[in-house]
Structure 1
């Protein structure tokens, strides 16, 4: 769905407290979350404005978001 929120807290509601705890304790984890959420905001903005961006470029942005989400989930589930 275009413009759908994919922020980390939205994507992982069961990990809300753990996300906050890890973000406060681990600067590299916090940086991953900030990078993911910034990228998500950029993607949503492009989708909502129907900004001129090539399909391959949009797919690259979405793949980057998925990679970050996977890394965050891995760290959440193994911490």
Structure 2
């Protein structure tokens, strides 16, 4: 089974500069980015079989990851529009 990478740099390679600038200069974005990264790592560990959880828990974590990604992407798009 191939586990897809969902880190922001793989999801949005065209916004690499904006992601870097926001991580360095926007504390709110940096907190969300860190939370997203940690959640993505947890989901990947579960999908790889390193952790056992219920399907419901995994689905819940995936939904939370998606919510964070949407929130981060909105901030990235706003940053792109101002540069």
Provide the TM-score with structure 1 as the length reference: 0.91
Question: Which consecutive segments of 4 or more residues in structure 1 shift more than 4 A?
Answer: none
Counterparts of 1:31-70 in structure 2, within 5 Å, are 31-49=31-49, 51-70=51-70
Q: Which residue of 1 aligns with 2:73?
A: 73
Do the aligned partners of residues 29 and 14 (structure 1) sit closer, same or farther apart at CA in structure 2, a change above 3 Å counting? Answer: same
Shift in Å at residue 27 of structure 1? 1.1
Shift in Å at residue 52 of structure 1? 2.3
| 5-14 or 49-58: bigger deviation | 49-58
Count of residue pairs brought into register by the alignment:
79
Extract unaligned runs of 5+ from structure 2.
none
Provide the TM-score with structure 2 as the length reference: 0.87
Extract unaligned runs of 5+ from structure 1.
none
What is the RMSD computed on CA atoms of the aligned residues?
A: 1.4
